[in-house]
Amino acid sequence: MPISPKILFPSETREFSLYTKRGSHYRLYCYKDDPFTREHKELLLERGIARVYVRAPSRDWFKQYAQTHLGSVLQDHTIPLEERSRAFYDTSLSVVRQTFNQKLPQGLDPAVLQKIERMVKEALSFLSREETLRSLGALMSHDYDTYCHSVNVFILSASILQTFKRFNEDDLVQVGIGAILHDIGKTELPSEIINKPGKLTPEEYRLVREHPRVGQRLCAGAPLHQQSHDVILYHHEKLDGSGYPIGAHGHHIPQCVRVVTIVDIYDALTSKRPYAPPLAPFDALQLMRREFDGKIDPVYYERFVRLLSLTL
């Protein structure tokens, strides 16, 4: 597993050894029980070694290390923006995978929720800058899967919400958590439905339309704020009442959810899905303007278009 030495912190405890690579051969650089010093790091950078490696059996240990130090990485401006963006995106995906791959009868583990909340809080300031969005745009995967989609929706939703003064920091955190978890109900759907290349049967479509309710049930036992629950339950609702699972309309759909809905649609349209090729960003926005008129909030849609125009 390749990682940048720039995101490693000297003197920090590690449960993984580091290797360098020359050709097809790997050489032990720093054993896990030995301190990784500032001199270790500087020597790698002086030699122009852009990547060190962690062996496959130790990947989970590195992911835990990356999650623990994410905030420090994002705030360290001596680390190039591209490296911080990569660390953020990879670590976010790791957290989402761990969350969605839980198969616990009682639903979402509160300890996992704490991990998500910490990640969201650490990311908000980082996501408030245009240059960050441009950097992340080059990394955001458009091969549609629930993990990448959830991270993409969080990134773009948080970026839009921060341009409005009506949303305070707590709003941003709670909606961010909801955006990360908005599709957790899909973990209960059979993979044959998720990955089906053709048209869904009426029964399959009925099951898909239930995933917001399923997601709310999975999160019922966790100490989630109401805003997070709203995002999970309402993100497929439309202003004209044509959405699901409830058919809510107009003022019954919270303001913050309307933002997530727009981003959710956009990311799906611009991603490679089993049943449809991806649209270019301009084409996706045009389709949304044409086919979702009266269904999505025009104020948030226009702000989203302006945001994308600055970052694409």
pLDDT in tens, 135-160: 998 888 776 788 899 999 999 999 99
Q: Is the pLDDT of residue 7 over 80?
A: yes
Least trusted range by pLDDT, from 7-11, 106-110, 180-184, 291-295: 106-110
pLDDT at residue 204, rounded to an integer? 94
pLDDT single digits (tens) 73-85: 999 999 999 999 9
- The 3-state secondary structure of 97-162 reads HHHHCCCCCCCCCHHHHHHHHHHHHHHHHHHCCHHHHHHHHCCCCCECCHHHHHHHHHHHHHHHHC
Asked whether residue 253 carries a pLDDT value surpassing 90, the answer given is yes
Percent of the chain with pLDDT over 90: 68
Q: Tokens 């849609």 sit at which residue?
A: 301
Q: What are the domain boundaries of the chain? A: 1-57, 80-311
| Mean predicted confidence (pLDDT) in 283-312 | 93
Query: Which residue in 196, 210, 183, 187 sits closest to 264, CA to CA?
Result: 183
Tens of pLDDT, residue by residue over 98-137, are 888 875 556 778 888 899 999 999 999 999 988 998 999 8
DSSP-derived 3-state class of residue 68 = helix
How far is C-alpha 200 from the geometric centre of its chain's CA atoms?
27
pLDDT value of residue 299: 97
- Binning pLDDT at 50, 70 and 90, where does residue 222 land? confident
Residue 273: its pLDDT value, please? Answer: 83
Handedness of CA 146, 152, 156, 157 (dihedral sign): positive
Among all chains, which residue has been given the structure tokens 């996992």? 112
CA-nearest of 171, 148, 146 to 161 is 171
What is the pLDDT averaged over residues 272-286?
91
Average pLDDT for 231-244? 97
Q: Reply yes or no on whether the pLDDT at 179 is more than 80.
A: yes
pTM over 0.85: yes
Architecture of domain 80-311: Orthogonal Bundle (1.10)
Q: CA 111 → CA 99, 107, 108, 136, distances in Å? A: 10, 12, 9, 27
Q: Which whole number is the average pLDDT over 261-281? A: 92
Q: Name which of 14-23, 138-147, 267-276 the model is least confident about.
A: 138-147
d(CA 59, CA 73): 19
**What is the percentage of the chain residues whose pLDDT exceeds 70?**
97
Give per-residue pLDDT as tens, 182-199: 999 999 999 899 888 888
pLDDT at residue 105, rounded to an integer: 55
CA atoms 161, 163, 164, 167: torsion sign: positive
Averaged confidence pLDDT in the chain: 91
